[in-house]
Chain A
Amino acid sequence: MNAIESDQAVAKKRDYLFDRIGLYLLIFVILVIVSSIILVLPYSNTYIGDYGADEIYLKSFVYLAVVSTAVLILGVFYNIMIWMEGRVSGADQTAPPARKFFVSLGKLMRSVFSKDFGKILRSFVLDVIFLRKFWSISKVRWIVHGLILFGFIGIFLLDVITTVALEFFDSRSFTEPDGWGKLWIRDFGFDLFGLMIMIGLAGAIVRRFVMRPKQLVTGAEDVVSVLFLLVVVLSGFVLEGIGIASGIPGHESHEMYSFVGYLFSAVSPAVSVDAYAQIWFLHAIVSLALIMYIPFSKLFHMFAAPLAMQLNDIVKRGEIAP
């Protein structure tokens, strides 16, 4: 009996060791893939890069981007490992987090890719994307939040589209001054979504700092989060304005399309190519810092809230969570 038990204990230990190695391997693979993508891209879609001195900024940016996405990924895993200290049905409660992680991952995959896929997709659209309960609570706040959320999603998607069009298809339309992609996506699209974020942030700031409703309390992290977002978006527009005012290639003035950047350009000084590259670098650093800040702040809700809502859709109310 004892021999059997100790055999089992040894087997368990071995399994747990495999889980841990598996987890580290998984994180490593993700890091390598993401870093490679960042390092391999030629960045022909950035507004700097072809002008000698700019090279150093672009290179530094690329390496810092690798670091900041690594921090983001590790930060997310750090949080996941805390979740995995909790109870996971189907896993021994004394099991290490790595084991619980793989058990949960398997369960999650099985419930998503099950016959309930349609139902899950529907609740994803209604609860997670559309945030229907929030809509029923306050339309105005929903719009303010939606402007920020959809603004960022929009910018992210346009970034992907631009990158794919430029790097994989070498699309001229994105580089020629009168190209469709250049005018509608790089000029208009980015400005539109950026403006959405700015309006949303302005709404959030007015509500939090001017209207100060009773339900809000403002701690350091609330201030930092909102200011961080604001600085990123604002510095983006300032950069665009300076780019237009300075006639930086790629920023040829298309006031109809870069409508926000054009407004900023009206009050922007014209600077040298070098100075422009430095400002570009500053904007890039703030953006990368924001990425690193996400997993350690309340902004992490952008990952945890959709997941929580989705899990709650899977576990019926009144049933104790698996």
Chain B
Amino acid sequence: MKRDKSRIDLSSIPAKSLVEFDACTRCGECSIICPTGGEAEQVEERTPRGKIRAVRKVVRTLRNPLRAALTSEKKMERMLSDLSESVYQCSICGMCMEACPLSLRTIEMWESLRRSLVDSGLGPKEPHEALVKSIENYDNPWMQPRMQRARWAKKIKSIVDATKEKIDLLYYVGCTASYDPEINRVAQNLVSIAEKAGLRMGILGKAEKCCGSTLLRIGEYERARKLALENVDIFRRTDADRIVTACAGCYKTLAQDYPSLTGTRLPVFHTTQLLAELLSEDRLPLKKDPPGLAVTYHDPCHLGRHTQMYDWPREIISRLPGVTLVEMERNRERSRCCGAGGGLMTLNQEIVFRIAGMRIEDAERTGAQVLVTSCPFCQQTLVEAARRRDNSVKVIDITDLVIELLE
């Protein structure tokens, strides 16, 4: 269907978010700390405040008959395409929500705005199209065949098909850990940990589909909903009463978005919760006297500001023998984003690595040699950023750290 590019349909933005666009006082608290428009670029139009202003301006122009009559179609189109451009130059990190004195729920504002841009034929951006196609054709954003999804698990005997066998725990692997050979290790770690803890863990194998996080972040709500419904259907074919995921993005999507997308609340946990629980119950055999190690921890946005899971990873680190946590100056709620989320990696790698570079600098300043995180996507990005800075710190997943310290 061809859409009129000089109109915008607001019906998918919650009315509450529309109130919030009008609530902004233009104080700029968000703008100085926004990793994209603020810290990396310093372009007002791309800061949260700039975007809010643009939304108000566009809507007030379109909905005011006099102003609409005085604005040429061409100008209107330009205003809308500029707005779309700025709205997608954002990693949906949620820093603006944290910084805002009114705590405006910007995450919801940006995501629903993107959805409305998609509804109006103004989004997503061209580079995202390959991503959307890949998810549609292969059920993953990496253009990898479905058949290869569980290749990493081929030689692992202890992992079972969750749709066929009785299990304690369903491991939702997610696309990055399934296909990225570097990140496969996270999946393998989790299998070993489950084995040591005596848990029977199953996966969905090639039946698993992308959780839809990427689609949701770029505003492709309907496509994400279809995937989510299919996934919930597959989950129902297992007898698992717990689903665990090692990916912050998958966790946020399954825990926070699926209830409204599918009407189903899933018993989903992040690995950090599982590991903290296993460690606190002494179910993992830890090394007795390992050499001391100083680490710092990077809160992934999806596990931090989006879902407030700040304590579990810290509890894990505090229970590991010989490991000391040295916090970065910006941690927990004020943790700096790695830059890769919200479809930005596909859109503007240059800026992503500028932001990720700043995060590596944060880590360097702590003096710790190891930067631990709990999201494969953050890990992928930060590993590359560290490589560009001569591998000044080693970036690992929290499961790597735990495995290292198991007997």
Contact = CB atoms under 8 A, between A and B. Distances in A.
Given A217-B28, A317-B308, A320-B108, A312 B103 contact: yes
A36 B15 CA distance: 32
A296 B59 CA distance: 12
Contacts of A84: 15
A321 B44 CA distance: 28
A312 B32 CA distance: 24
A167 to B, nearest CB: 34
Contact of B103 (A83, A222, A309, A320): A309
A137 B19 CA distance: 23
Nearest to B25: A301
A20 interface: no
B17 interface: yes
Nearest to B8: A85
Interface in A2-40: none
A298 interface: yes
A131 interface: yes
Nearest to A83: B18
Contacts of B308: 317-318
Contacts, number: 113
A219 B24 CA distance: 15
A312 B257 CA distance: 18
Given A305-B25, A312-B103, A321 B17 contact: yes
Q: How large is the interface on A (under 10, 10 to 19, 20 to 34, 35 or more residues)?
A: 35 or more
Interface string A280-312: 000000000000000010101100110111011
Contacts of B101: 131, 133-134, 137
A87 B260 contact: no
B294 interface: no
A215 B26 CA distance: 9
A321 B256 CA distance: 12
B228 to A, nearest CB: 13
A162 B112 CA distance: 47
B158 interface: no
Contact of B14 (A131, A304, A321): A321
A312 B105 contact: yes
A100 interface: yes
Nearest to A214: B32
B156 interface: no
A309 B22 CA distance: 12
Contacts of A298: 24-26
Contacts of B44: 217
A102 B229 CA distance: 32
A320 B26 contact: no
Contact of B19 (A134, A304, A320): A304
Nearest to A128: B102
B265 to A, nearest CB: 11
Contact of A86 (B13, B25, B28, B307): B13
B115 to A, nearest CB: 10
A88 B10 CA distance: 11
Contacts of B13: 86-87
B31 interface: yes
A79 interface: yes
Interface in B102-128: 102-105, 108, 112
B98 to A, nearest CB: 10
A204 B260 CA distance: 43
B102 A305 contact: yes
Interface in A76-94: 78-79, 82-88, 93-94
For A87, A300, A307, the residue with the greatest tally of chain B CB atoms inside 10 Å of its CB is A87
Contacts of B306: 318
Interface in B53-101: 53, 59-60, 63, 101
Nearest to B255: A318
Contacts of B104: 308, 312
B27 interface: yes
A217 B260 CA distance: 37
B400 interface: no
A209 to B, nearest CB: 15
Contacts of A173: none
B136 interface: no
Given A304-B19, A304-B23, A312-B16, 12 more contacts: A82-B18, A86-B14, A86-B16, A87-B12, A134-B102, A137-B101, A298-B26, A305-B23, A308-B16, A312-B105, A315-B16, A318-B307
Which 4 pairs of residues, A with B, have the shortest CB-CB distance?
A: A215-B28, A86-B15, A304-B22, A308-B23
Interface of B: 10-20, 22-29, 31-32, 44, 49, 53, 59-60, 63, 101-105, 108, 112, 256-257, 259-260, 306-308
